[in-house]
Copies of this chain bind each other. A is one copy, B any other.
């Protein structure tokens, strides 16, 4: 993930050109290759594994795109920490925690 953000210029250009569709497909493919090598089998198209890759890749690309579109006003570390927190604890728990802090 860190190296992903660090190959900075190219990614910024891709987001600006609204080519994130292409970027997403490339990342999903890489992700799937790593998993397939580990599993030594190709996940079925509706396996939880394939859905997980779709879910997480789309989420991370969505957040990073948002971060670029808002002039990256928080640091790389901060945005990665937030992504890591949601990925570890889950969207629902993180949202509950967040809302109970604010209400």
- A residues at B contact (CB < 8 Å): 18, 21, 24, 35, 38-39, 41, 45-46, 48-52, 54-63, 66, 70, 73-74, 78-79, 82-83, 85-95, 98-99, 102-103
Contacts of A58 in B (CB 8 A): 58-59, 61-63
With A90-B86, A103-B38 as contacts: A73 and B46 at CB distance below 8 Å: yes
Instruction: Evaluate contact between A103 and B39: CB separation under 8 angstroms.
Output: yes
Instruction: Evaluate contact between B98 and A52: CB separation under 8 angstroms.
Output: yes
Q: Which of B35, B41, B45, B59 contacts A56 (CB 8 A)?
A: B59
Instruction: Evaluate contact between B93 and A39: CB separation under 8 angstroms.
Output: no
Residue of B nearest to A57 (CB): B62
Instruction: Evaluate contact between B52 and A62: CB separation under 8 angstroms.
Output: no
Question: What is the bound-complex CA distance between A70 and B54, given in angstroms?
Answer: 13
Contacts of A41 in B (CB 8 A): 102
Question: Min CB distance, A18 to chain B, in Å?
Answer: 8
